[in-house]
Amino acid sequence: MNRIFLDNAATTPIDPEVLTAMVEVMQSTFGNPSSIHAEGRKARSLIEAARKTVANALNCSIGEIFFTSGGTEANNMALKNAVRDLGVKRIISSPLEHHCVLHSLEAIAATGAAEVEMVNIDERGHVDLADLRRRLEEQSADTLVSLMHSNNEIGNLLPLQEVADLCGEFGVYFHCDTVQTMGYFPIDLEKTRVSFLSGSAHKFYGPKGVGFVYINNDNHIKPYLDGGAQERNMRGGTENVYGIVGLAKALERAVEEREERRNQMESVKQYMMERLREVYPEVRFNGDPCRSHYKVLSVSFPESPKGDLLLMNLDLAGISASGGSACSSGIDVGSHVVGHLHPDSKRHTIRFSFSHHNTREQVDYVVEKLAAML
């Protein structure tokens, strides 16, 4: 059997139609989008068409979409600019956020520019909304809430509308990291009021190195990267034209095929849970699989002498998966999310994350191979 890729929360294979669109741009549209001649105007028109595609997918204004190098830049931009430009003095987040958010918050706190506090997390890994409300009731300074839509390691979903409404009730800013859910779940920014939102193309079958940040028109911030007047004076640097075109094409296809893709991934995820329970009765699924992203399944196996080599042995068997976040380092350092939920556990955790290309036959192969590794 060919290699089986079950690490789609880390990245996804580029869609062939996306690649075709990007190659066409690389071959025929080399102009600088800031130039006023024909070649420059052609490149600019592609960027603005892509911006319209993203805005339409989110039901927001094209003036609220700014292209970035990816989710990390988008999240840094939202958090640090909110403190610098909007007077935010207090940030409420969670200990289960992606490291690009947690490290940004550490950097902000280190400067003394804003206080950072963590909302309580329940035993299944969900944000305690009662605790969030209590903290908002106690606000004494301009506040921003930063919570991800879906956890990248256990998949738990935030009740986005409920949190947005809660932030609106107390008049605080709301930043949502939607890197894992963009293209997978419908988001209507006309109905769901968010201050800042982030996306990254390589999570929905687009290219790496390109993403976007949504900034609500009510929030007036200054450029994060100083330079030229690109991105309507919000982000200096010549635009990644073919990457932006690839992002838009990938998001367009993800929205068009969302239900079909979702049905396939849900089927494969459910089948894997059933097969693992059948073969390994003591298996544990981290988080709350019933209220989680259909592409993510975090699995903990009982302690075993071979467990420390589980990821390596899977790789040798032609199966790609991960233990912690792929963004941590080249070495798997474990999951800070699972560590927070089960601090004393000695179980061996693997994150399997699916795409619409995965099949039940692949699941059978994985379960069979696991038998010799545990």
What pLDDT is stored for residue 338 in this prediction?
A: 85
Among 238, 256, 274, the domain boundary falls at 256
Q: 346 falls in which pLDDT band (50, 70, 90)?
A: confident
Strands 319-320 and 4-5: parallel
Residue where a domain terminates, one of 229, 256, 283: 256
pLDDT digits (tens, 9 = 90+) for 59-69: 999 999 999 99
**In Å, how far from its chain's centre is CA 26?**
27
pLDDT at 328 over 60: no
User: Residue 103's domain spans which residues?
Assistant: 16-256
Among residues 251, 257, 250, 206, which one has the least CA distance to residue 14?
206
Query: For residue 127, what are the β-bridge partners?
Result: 121
- List the beta strands (DSSP E) in 41-172: 65-68, 90-93, 115-118, 143-146
Q: Indicate which residue of 100, 167, 176, 327 is catalytic.
A: 327
Co-location of 247 and 305 in the same domain:
no
User: Taking a C-beta distance cutoff of 8 angstroms, is the pair 76, 274 a contact?
Assistant: no
Same domain? For 252 and 341 the reply is no
> Looking at the structure, do residues 187 and 290 belong to the same domain, yes or no?
no
For residues 130 and 198, membership in a common domain is answered with yes
Q: What angle do CA 207, 251, 145 make, to 5 degrees?
A: 95
How confident is the model over 8-66, as pLDDT tens digits? Answer: 999 999 999 999 999 999 999 999 999 999 999 999 999 999 999 999 999 999 999 99
240 and 313 inside one domain: no
- How far is residue 168's CA from residue 274's CA, in Å, rounded to a whole number? 41
Average of per-residue pLDDT values in the chain: 94
Q: Are residues 119 and 250 in the same domain?
A: yes
Tokens found for residue 369: 């191979």
Q: How far apart are CA 366 and CA 102, in angstroms?
A: 33
CATH number of the domain encompassing residue 250 = 3.40.640.10
Q: Are residues 274 and 248 in the same domain?
A: no
Q: Are residues 236 and 268 in the same domain?
A: no
Q: How confident is the model at residue 331 (pLDDT cuts 50, 70, 90)?
A: very low
Looking at 217, 240, 256, the residue that finishes a domain is: 256
Contacts 24+ apart (CB under 8 A), 308-316: 308/348, 309/373, 310/348, 310/350, 310/373, 310/374, 311/350, 313/373, 314/350, 314/366, 314/369, 314/370, 314/373
My answer on whether 262 and 251 are in the same domain is: no
Query: What's the rounded Cα separation, in Å, for the pair 193 and 216?
Result: 8
Q: Which two tokens stand for residue 162?
A: 């409920």
Asked if residue 215 and residue 237 are part of one domain, the reply reads yes
Return the higher-pLDDT residue of 255 and 226: 255
**CATH number of the domain enclosing 262:** 3.90.1150.10
266 in the same domain as 171: no
Closest CA to 372 of 275, 274, 304, 290: 304
CB 80 within 8 A of CB 72: no
For 233, list phi and psi in degrees, rounded to 5.
Answer: 65, 15
Q: Does 237 share its domain with 323?
A: no
Region of residue 202 (phi > 0: left; psi between -120 and 50: alpha; otherwise: beta): alpha
CB-count exposure of residue 350 (10 Å: 0-12, 13-18, 19+): buried
Number of domains in the chain: 2
* Torsion angle of the four alpha carbons 162, 165, 170, 172, in this order, in degrees rounded to the nearest 10: 100
167 is catalytic: no
| pLDDT one-digit tens code per residue, 150-170 | 999 999 999 999 999 999 999
